[in-house]
Amino acid sequence: MRGTVLYGPRNVRFEQRDDPKILKPTDAIIRMSATCVCGSDLWDYRGINKVTQPTPIGHEYCGSVEEVGRAVTKIKPGQFVIGSFFASDNTCPNCQAGYYSSCQHREFVGGAQADWLRVPLADGTLVATREAPSAELIPSLLTLSDVMGTGWFAADAANVKPGNTVAVVGDGAVGLLGVLSARQMGAGRIIAMSRHESRQKLAREFGATDIVTHRGDEGVARIKELTKGIGADAVLECVGTQESMMQAIRSTRAGGYIGYVGVPHGVALDGQELFFAHVHLHGGPAPVRRYLPHLIDLVWSGKITPGKVFDLTLPLEDVAEGYRAMDERRAIKTLLRP
């Protein structure tokens, strides 16, 4: 098969790779219908996360089951399935508590920017749709593998309730889908922080009521101004930098909630400031599997169209351009079609 391999900073190649095989009786092999580039992939692409050897990359996927191991009983060949970037058994205590991405037997699902993919722990990881989806639904279904599920977790972790004022720090795909999630959860006011016109437009389409173009202390001051000096009830931190985390904490009212899902890079919290901030912090790698059935229903019924976050679609063989476009902020998110 062909697939994407990262050799080093800004060195992505599309080349021949070994076909995936059933390695464990709990595995499944799927034929990819669509995959994409994730904002978190850019940490590796830019060399911020060191890559020491050629590494298959990509962790967002959906497609048709081709083969299953002998221990797989729920997932069947021919089904269209979506799964999380962490494989989970769906039976351990952490899974039962809803934290599938902390499964005691979790495995990272990588190498998804390819024609085929091996998914471990198939029965616990994959969720099948009721029937094969139309081509129009596939982009939105693909987002559920990570970016929509992560935006939903940000809003859920921030305890978004009907009527809340919500601020979203970050205008990448996760932040934008955090806006969409907060709207679905009934937020009364959604403040999106963005400096980019195309992203502002999509944020408003997804439900943002206000746009703040400032960052850092100025961004905090603007949110306080919009909320009569109080701060937001809920803040979604969708970047992962020191500035974004502090902006989130300082924008939250006393007793408010922060859902943080940006993969942290260089984030360190001052204990005394956090102590006196009086805020709730909850986040981590999104337990996407928890939300998959509900989000599939929302997409299938047409209540949400998260696939709009893809503003560049390319054949998989042009994956290097997909990375460049996102790195240079010419694209919000790149959809790749095998």
Spans in the chain with pLDDT lower than 50: none
Measure Cα distances from 118 to 52, 68, 75, 83, 154 in Å.
23, 10, 13, 11, 28
- Residue 58 CA to residue 224 CA, distance in Å, equals 38
pLDDT of residue 70: 98
DSSP state of 202: H
Query: How does 9-43 read in b/e, with b if 16+ C-beta sit within 10 Å?
Result: eeebebeebeebebeeebbbbbebbbbbbbbbbee
Q: Which contiguous run of DSSP H or E holds residue 216?
A: helix 216-226
Residue 333's closest CA among 304, 311, 305? Answer: 311
- Residue 110 CA to residue 279 CA, distance in Å, equals 35
pLDDT of residue 117: 98
pLDDT of residue 99: 98
pLDDT of residue 317: 97
282 forms bridges with which residues in the sheet? 259
Backbone phi and psi for residue 258, each to the nearest 5 degrees, phi listed first: -120, 125
pLDDT of residue 312: 98
pLDDT of residue 79: 98
pLDDT of residue 241: 94
DSSP secondary structure of 239-280: S-SHHHHHHHHHHEEEEEEEEE-SPPSS----HHHHHHHT-E
Q: Is the torsion defined by CA of 91, 96, 100, 102 positive or negative?
A: negative
Q: Is the torsion defined by CA of 9, 11, 17, 20 positive or negative?
A: positive
